[in-house]
Amino acid sequence: MKQSRRPTSHRTFCRICEAACALRAECDDAGQLVRLRPDREHPVSRGFACAKGTRFLDVAHHPERVLSPLQRQSDGRYQSVAWDVAMAQCEARLRPILDRYGPHAIALYVGNPLAFNAMGAVSTLAFMRALGTRNVFTAGSQDCNNKFSGAQIVHGSPLIHPLPDLAHADVALMLGTNPAVSQTSFIHLEGGSTVFDRLADRGGRILWVDPRRTESAQRWGEHVAIRPGTDIFLLLALLHALRDQYRSHPQVEGLETLLALASAYPPLRTASLTGLAAAQIEAIADALRQARCATMHMSVGVNQGPFGTLCYVALQALAYLSGNFDQRGGLLFHPLAVGLGEIGRHLGLAGDGQQSRVATFPRLIKSLPGGILADEILTPGEEQVRALIVLSGNPLMSIPGEAKLRKAFAKLDYMICLDLFQNATGQMADLVLPTPCWLERWDVATTTMLFQHAPHIQYAGAVQAPPGEVRSEARILADISLALARPLWGHRAVARLWGRMPWDVVMKTGSDVVSLPSRWLRQGFPSLPSLRPKPGRYLGKGPRTLGRRVRFWHDDLQPEMARLASYAASVEDRGKNAQAGELTLICRRRRLGQNSWLHRATRDGKPEDTAWLAPSDLQALGLPQGGPVRLQTAGGRCRSWPCRWMRWSRGWSWCRTAYRM
């Protein structure tokens, strides 16, 4: 009797978020990739991976993937065409725009997946530089630009971010994050979310600040049920409560101004704004004051709020005031990020002096706010955007104001989308070009390196061949640059070689100069002490930017004082004059969804596309659990969804995040 062979297993890692969880990719006898599972032998992930990564085959093998270039015909239908036809159209349509109106007439929108695609990211930066356009927009506007802006204020570089030292903390204050469902962001957790198991097992306290009693709050620690959008008032109240801890430091400035702002929001006043009792706020302050070491972290739930940048500054000031800034068990700083911060400043990542044509917004990390993309297209004048190249994104669904964006996209002379699927934005494009998913390319986890405590570098080759006529972003962007006579790296031969280089083969079989580092990458470094965040290393030695100072206030924050006072008044007024049946709509992360990466993937178990309301609101509205509802806001309406109750404060409803960034 013939015995079946065990599946062939390849080591790889997930490229959906900063966690970069190690995976085993299993292939059957025919070489077909059939399963993704956590890598239990990985020294950092330790067998942890969330369902988003292990279910990614549903995306990779989805029947609706774009497998060849799709070109819009005169009747509006899309037809599959050869690559040479697609590139010829790019030249015929984009070159006249560039020659007549200049490089700023062509805009780029870069989606979230490019942050976890090493070659794609480098190629995009090279393309931006070769093209010379200032009109670059990214998904960061929707979820994390506040952190880049806040890091620029505090550290003088958008690349330097505090890492919560959860492995050594006694108390953890977690705002707007739900790692039981989605890891968290701007931090790589060693062993995944099991770090919270270990914190709880050793008797530590974890405080989850969130309007909803999240899965994380149910599993670990205590729920702090804050009113949506009021995190800034809690942070200011905590700063005020800890003002007696203030101590001057020759390398710290601006804290006095921030504390003066906080004095207007003591716990007693903040209670009416946040929905938390003043005694509860004081108790949190006492916990931070009395803890041997306390850490804190904020994520997308706060980033997307009305004061994300000020919150990020205040959070780091709170760590400093409580004695946990650059301290073990508090907030630490990655030496690689600190070193790159100075390099990034010279490269213009901290601001290059360029501003948007509309509203004169400054660029940050080489990009402009996504919210003005439609205006840059619709506003007539010199350097008006007339063409758009979208890389791994869906701005029509993720940038606020869909109706205005539809109008803007319809006025474009030409639009190209590079993606796995023809998404909503792609349905308005003139050309859709197919790209590989992360299972079909070699990669280095460059983004993760800036957010990790355990020093390691991950490399992975392709574990399955790209299907159909799929081409890499590097090849596509190199070919477009050649068509525009703006070659990557400034040379046609170099651009052609860059786009056609079989990087996976080179990294495995190249010369010693290439293959030796690649073997290190594949095997991982057992010890990289120089790349491990250590206490006292950042503030103690002096930051390398801002004249070796940390800054908790900047003139750019001055307008926030008046805006904060106005917002506080509106929150109080809304609480007094709420209409019957009027709810506040908030979003949450989902176990099986990541932005809109997995919208086309199959599902099992309970549906996630549901409206969640408090039991008391269900009863007041006369809605049965599981019944249909229609949600309507000033921004629009959504179709009926099953209604489901959750135990949380009344007056709020939940909607899934329905976009790919």
Token readout for 636 is 């629009």
Based on the fold, state whether residues 284 and 314 are members of the same structural domain.
Answer: yes
Q: Considering the domain boundaries, does residue 352 fall inside one? A: no
Torsion of CA 411, 417, 420, 424, to 10 degrees: -10
Nearest Cα neighbor of 379 from 393, 400, 395, 358 is 358
Token readout for 185 is 């962001």
Based on the fold, state whether residues 130 and 149 are members of the same structural domain.
Answer: no
Return the ∠ at Cα 410 (arms to 409 and 415), rounded to 5°. 55
Domain count, the chain: 3
Q: Considering the domain boundaries, does residue 42 fall inside one? A: no
Give the model's confidence band at 458: pLDDT under 50 very low, under 70 low, under 90 confident, else very high. Answer: confident
Q: What is the pLDDT of residue 600?
A: 57
pLDDT at 627 over 90: no
123 contacts: CB under 8 Å, gap ≥ 6:
473, 474, 477, 478, 488, 498
Give the model's confidence band at 72: pLDDT under 50 very low, under 70 low, under 90 confident, else very high. Answer: very high
Q: Considering the domain boundaries, does residue 151 fall inside one? A: yes
Give the model's confidence band at 587: pLDDT under 50 very low, under 70 low, under 90 confident, else very high. Answer: confident
Based on the fold, state whether residues 425 and 293 are members of the same structural domain.
Answer: no
Cβ atoms within 10 Å, residue 531: 17
Q: What is the CATH number of the domain that holds 635?
A: 2.40.40.20
Which DSSP symbol is given to 578?
Answer: P
Q: Considering the domain boundaries, does residue 497 fall inside one? A: yes
Instruction: Provide the greatest CA pair distance for the chain.
Output: 81
Sheet-wide strand order for 652-656:
584-588, 652-656, 611-613, 636-645, 628-633
Q: Considering the domain boundaries, does residue 155 fall inside one? A: yes
Based on the fold, state whether residues 496 and 388 are members of the same structural domain.
Answer: yes
Cβ atoms within 10 Å, residue 649: 17
Residue-wise pLDDT for 12-31, tens only, equals: 999 998 888 999 999 988 88
Q: Is 412 exposed, middle or buried (0-12, 13-18, 19+ CB in 10 A)?
A: middle
Based on the fold, state whether residues 387 and 334 are members of the same structural domain.
Answer: no
Residue-wise pLDDT for 240-258, tens only, equals: 999 999 988 889 999 999 9
Q: Considering the domain boundaries, does residue 430 fall inside one? A: yes
Q: Considering the domain boundaries, does residue 51 fall inside one? A: no
Torsion of CA 28, 33, 37, 39, to 10 degrees: 90
Q: What is the pLDDT of residue 574?
A: 81
Q: What is the pLDDT of residue 100?
A: 98
Based on the fold, state whether residues 151 and 131 are members of the same structural domain.
Answer: no
Distance CA 38, CA 49 (A): 5
Q: Across 299-386, where does the E strand assignment appear?
A: 331-333
Give the model's confidence band at 594: pLDDT under 50 very low, under 70 low, under 90 confident, else very high. Answer: low
**On the CB side of 137, how many CA atoms lie within 13 Å of its CA?**
30
Q: What is the CATH number of the domain that holds 382?
A: 3.40.50.740
Q: Is the CA virtual torsion 169, 173, 178, 184 positive or negative?
A: negative
Q: What is the CATH number of the domain that holds 181?
A: 3.40.228.10
Q: What is the pLDDT of residue 583?
A: 81
The average confidence (pLDDT) of the chain is 87
Q: Considering the domain boundaries, does residue 414 fall inside one? A: yes
3-state secondary structure 224-285: ECCCCCCHHHHHHHHHHHCHHHCCCCCCEECHHHHHHHHCCCCHHHHHHHHCCCHHHHHHHH
**Domain membership of residue 410 as a residue range:** 70-135+368-435+470-509
Mean pLDDT score, 297-302: 95
Contact assessment for residue 164 and residue 197, using Cβ atoms and an 8 Å cutoff: no
| 199-213, 420-434, 575-589: least confident range | 575-589
Based on the fold, state whether residues 111 and 189 are members of the same structural domain.
Answer: no
**pTM of the model as a whole:** 0.91
Based on the fold, state whether residues 203 and 107 are members of the same structural domain.
Answer: no
Q: What is the pLDDT of residue 580?
A: 61
Distance CA 182, CA 200 (A): 19
Residue-wise pLDDT for 362-374, tens only, equals: 998 889 999 999 9
Based on the fold, state whether residues 321 and 391 are members of the same structural domain.
Answer: no
Based on the fold, state whether residues 417 and 474 are members of the same structural domain.
Answer: yes
Based on the fold, state whether residues 245 and 98 are members of the same structural domain.
Answer: no
Domain boundary among 528, 553, 578: 553
Distance CA 389, CA 614 (A): 43
**On the CB side of 498, how many CA atoms lie within 13 Å of its CA?**
25
Based on the fold, state whether residues 315 and 396 are members of the same structural domain.
Answer: no
Q: What is the pLDDT of residue 513?
A: 35
Give the model's confidence band at 324: pLDDT under 50 very low, under 70 low, under 90 confident, else very high. Answer: very high
